[in-house]
Chains A and B, each alone.
Chain A
Amino acid sequence: MPQISVQNLAKTFRVPEREGGFIASVRSIFKRRHKEVRAVDGIHFTIDEGEIVGFLGPNGAGKTTTLKILSGLLHPTSGEARVMGHIPWKRESEYLRRISMLMGQRTQLHWDLPAIDSFLVHGSIYGLPKEQYRTTLDELVALLDIGDVLKKQVRSLSLGERMKCEICVSLLHRPSVLFLDEPTIGVDIAMQARIREFIRNYNRQHGATIILTSHYMADVTALCKRIIVIDKGHILFDGPLPELSRKLAPFKVIKIDLDRDLNGYDLAALGDVLVREERKVSLRVPKGEAASVTSKLLTDLAVLDLTIEDPPIEDVISRVFGGESTK
């Protein structure tokens, strides 16, 4: 039985709308117009225990809304969701004890207090026995290497240090399901890598199920075997990472090594030229034309070696979200 199951989930927000200009502004005081925005529009998926799943999508795609519904912060407009058998938005104490949500852009630590005080309060709210609190804290502090910042006021910490403390506080009650919304936002590359490593270890050691959203492809490619791509509230893709390029990419990359120089051969007529050296060429062509272009290249040129590849995942994602989806 899956640990998380989502069926036909939808969330519509009602947002006020008005046109620009003075008269429109005055009119909006008396009569407000609203627009319905479907942030999540009938999505389905299931996630098994211990999986790490990456949510990808541009801003406003519905990633955070989905996470908020699953963590019980938002009521969906329609549809069903179960996490560990619970309906999240009922916010049962037993459920909330077993999950955690980390929002990279918002702090849950008290700004004026040392992080250790926020940890203590967290431990009391979850009613953690002293022994368990101590052991978990020691373990997390060692793993995250934050021993020397615990007693500093949170406002004086660097972004990276603060983020590690945020992760620590989110995990003190050893949640079985973790919702991570942009956990590495704003921190430098070295720190991103360490946070990633930590998340992977936590998943291995505790068998925790993790849903992660990130703007950094590296987070997703390093951690998640499975990707769910969301755009405009719909799921565009759900499957293993390598398949993402195959399925979503509307194009292929053909690389050829040549025996002779090109001598002015018109490559641009066949596709986008990515690399053009004397005897090395790389072309991007629409998926459907890959076979015909390949055969033309083999006929016209003295080809030594030819490979047809899927484009890099970053390219696929940016093309898909740039409105060039072939959905």
Chain B
Amino acid sequence: MTRALSLISVFVRVSVQNFAAYRFEFFVRMFVSVGHLLAELLAVQTIFKNTPEIRGWQKEHMLVLVGVFRMIAGGIRMVIVPNMRRVMEDIRNGTLDYVLLKPLDAQFHVSIREFVIWRVTDLVLGGSLAIYGSYLTLHTVPFDKFILFILMMVAAFTIVYAIWLALAAICFWLIRLENIEMLFWNVFEAGRFPVQIYPAWLQTGLTYIFPLAFIVTFPAASLLGISGKGITPTMPAIAFLVGLIAIILASMLFRIGLRRYAGASA
């Protein structure tokens, strides 16, 4: 465990150094990030000019959701996308060989190699907005809800990581599949809104097939208190269970893919 953490810290340190070399880019990106967030807030503002609530979600609630969506999207782009993109390229170019030559678990290794440091801005901006929305709703941010929220976010990232790992693993079979990432982003866009606004069949799909509810809606709801937003006291346990199942399946797929890469499956 200590070794894993020290390795992650080395990769983070290298990414920070690399990022420090592009300071100007950082400011431009931060500017773009803020711009994106403002546009999203404007959309919320426009919607709630016409209606006080949508399926139990009021304007303040939506601020939390927009914040959580931004945090998750930022986190994905900070840690998951750069690493999974690189492993897909490695599979295509044959450079995965160098990963397999290292005395390190391959899945762990390919998941920690790159960090896009400036995406921290998305986590900070999104987090601040979510906390602010929660404060507007409850006039305080209760400690227990905050802890619950953190747990739900951990489960959310676990699920997202599992989805991406599975997408990357598919490249072991379909080597020339270039745009597989879009598959994720197109569905993920639906997470800008709470799952409750969708028809029942789609809600079920977005909860148990592509568990977007566990990725955005439920973490947001947990910060708002558990009544009426589809969240029950057992929800964190269910979220962790979903995360656990997802990660086990994705790891299995990745391992089978690796065996195929090494020609051991034949």
Contact = CB atoms under 8 A, between A and B. Distances in A.
B103 A73 contact: no
Interface size class of B (residues with CB under 8 A): 20 to 34
Interface string B10-44: 11001001100000000000000000000000000
B11 A121 contact: yes
Contact of A112 (B11, B18, B93, B103): B18
B7 A125 contact: yes
A71 interface: yes
B14 A125 contact: no
A103 B103 CA distance: 18
Interface string A9-39: 0011110000000000000000000000000
Contacts of B11: 121
A120 B10 contact: yes
A106 B93 contact: yes
Contact of B103 (A74, A75, A117, A125): A125
Nearest to A122: B102
B14 A113 contact: yes
Given A106-B93, A106-B94, A107-B95, A89 B103 contact: no
Contacts of B209: none
Given A125-B7, A127-B3, A100 B262 contact: no
A125 B262 contact: no
Given A74-B263, A75-B262, A112-B18, A121 B101 contact: no
Contact of A96 (B18, B97, B102): B102
B266 A77 contact: yes
B20 to A, nearest CB: 12
Given A68-B97, A73-B97, A117-B17, A14 B266 contact: yes
A113 to B, nearest CB: 6
Most buried by B among A74, A125, A126: A125
A93 B95 CA distance: 19
A95 to B, nearest CB: 8
B117 interface: no
Contacts of A89: 262, 264
A13 B260 CA distance: 11
Contacts of A120: 10, 14
A38 to B, nearest CB: 13
Contacts of A101: 97, 101
Interface residues of A, number: 33
A117 B97 contact: no
Given A68-B97, A103-B97, A106-B94, A125 B102 contact: yes
A77 B265 CA distance: 10
B23 to A, nearest CB: 16
A121 B97 contact: no
Contacts, number: 66
A93 B103 contact: yes
B256 interface: no
A325 interface: no
B3 A117 contact: no
A73 B266 contact: no
B244 interface: no
B6 interface: yes
B104 interface: yes
Given A93-B103, A96-B102, A106-B93, A13 B14 contact: no
Contacts of B10: 120-121, 124
A283 B11 CA distance: 64
Contacts of A125: 7, 102-104, 109
A124 B104 CA distance: 11
A72 interface: yes
Nearest to B9: A124
Contacts of A103: 97-98
A91 interface: yes
Interface in A97-147: 97, 99-101, 103, 106-108, 112-113, 117, 120-121, 124-127
B100 interface: yes
Given A93-B103, A117-B17, A73 B93 contact: no
A14 B260 CA distance: 12
Interface string B228-260: 000000000000000000000000000000010
A11 to B, nearest CB: 7
A161 to B, nearest CB: 19
Interface in A49-94: 68, 71-75, 77, 89, 91, 93-94
Given A108-B95, A121-B10, A125-B7, A72 B100 contact: yes
B262 A74 contact: yes
Contacts of A14: 266
Nearest to A179: B101
6 contacts: A72-B100, A77-B263, A107-B95, A113-B14, A120-B10, A121-B14
Given A99-B101, A103-B97, A113-B18, 19 more contacts: A13-B263, A71-B101, A72-B101, A73-B97, A89-B264, A93-B103, A96-B101, A96-B102, A103-B98, A106-B93, A106-B97, A106-B98, A113-B14, A120-B10, A124-B6, A125-B7, A125-B103, A126-B102, A126-B103
User: Nearest 4 CB-CB pairs, A to B?
Assistant: A75-B264, A93-B103, A96-B103, A108-B98
